[in-house]
């Protein structure tokens, strides 16, 4: 979905600013949407959505993660995890096995199909980040990382 620069900026120009940080908030909202747009379209074609991708993303980077640890990393409840996790297991994008150390704990791992979907969805997002970082240069990318790191520390 190609956007012209004029069309891409219209959403920001049309909103009244009620606070001096509203422009920054809008950039967060619309920046996130801009970064995830192609990934979300790809996921939708796979019958998946953003929560599924978040799970796949974390499990790809922490193979054999316990469900309790996944809940902590994602910062969500068991109830919020249940439906997307069950779909990923049903579709055989994840495997689940009992932990040898803690028999009540289940460990999650991506299947080859899960790896492909996670990789493609994340590739769409990395492409957007790479293009933005290339446009703003190393100092702009470093500043963005510093701001986002500070915000992430609120977790």
What are the pLDDT digits (tens) for 66-93? 999 999 999 999 999 999 999 999 999 9
The stretch 4-32 carries a mean pLDDT of 74
**What is the rounded CA–CA span in Å between residue 15 and residue 123?**
31
Chain mean pLDDT for the chain: 91
Read off the pLDDT band of 4 (50, 70, 90). very low
Phi-psi region at 92: left, alpha or beta (left = phi > 0; alpha = psi -120 to 50)? left
Read off the pLDDT band of 102 (50, 70, 90). confident
- Burial class (CB within 10 angstroms; exposed 0-12, middle 13-18, buried 19+) of 145: exposed
Contact of 121 with 53, CB cutoff 8 Å = yes
pLDDT at 23: 87
Does 20-152 carry CATH code 1.10.10.10? Answer: yes
pLDDT at 56: 99
Helix (H) or strand (E) holding 94: strand 94-98
Read off the pLDDT band of 14 (50, 70, 90). low
Terminal-to-terminal C-alpha distance of the chain:
33
Read off the pLDDT band of 8 (50, 70, 90). low
């Amino acid at each position: 979905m190609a956007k012209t620069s004029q069309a891409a900026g219209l959403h920001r120009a049309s909103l009244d600013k009620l606070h001096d940080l509203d422009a920054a908030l809008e950039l967060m909202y619309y920046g996130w949407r801009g970064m995830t747009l192609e990934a979300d379209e790809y996921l939708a074609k796979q019958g998946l959505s953003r929560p599924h991708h978040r799970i796949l993303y974390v499990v790809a980077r922490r193979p054999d993660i316990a469900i309790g640890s996944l809940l902590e990393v994602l910062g969500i409840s068991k109830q919020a995890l249940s439906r997307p996790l069950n779909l990923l297991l049903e579709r055989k994008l994840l495997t689940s096995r009992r932990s040898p150390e803690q028999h009540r704990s289940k460990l999650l791992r991506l299947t080859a199909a899960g790896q492909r979907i996670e990789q493609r969805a994340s590739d769409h997002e990395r492409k957007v980040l790479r293009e933005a970082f290339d446009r703003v240069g190393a100092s702009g990318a470093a500043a963005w990382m510093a701001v986002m790191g500070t915000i992430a520390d609120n977790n």
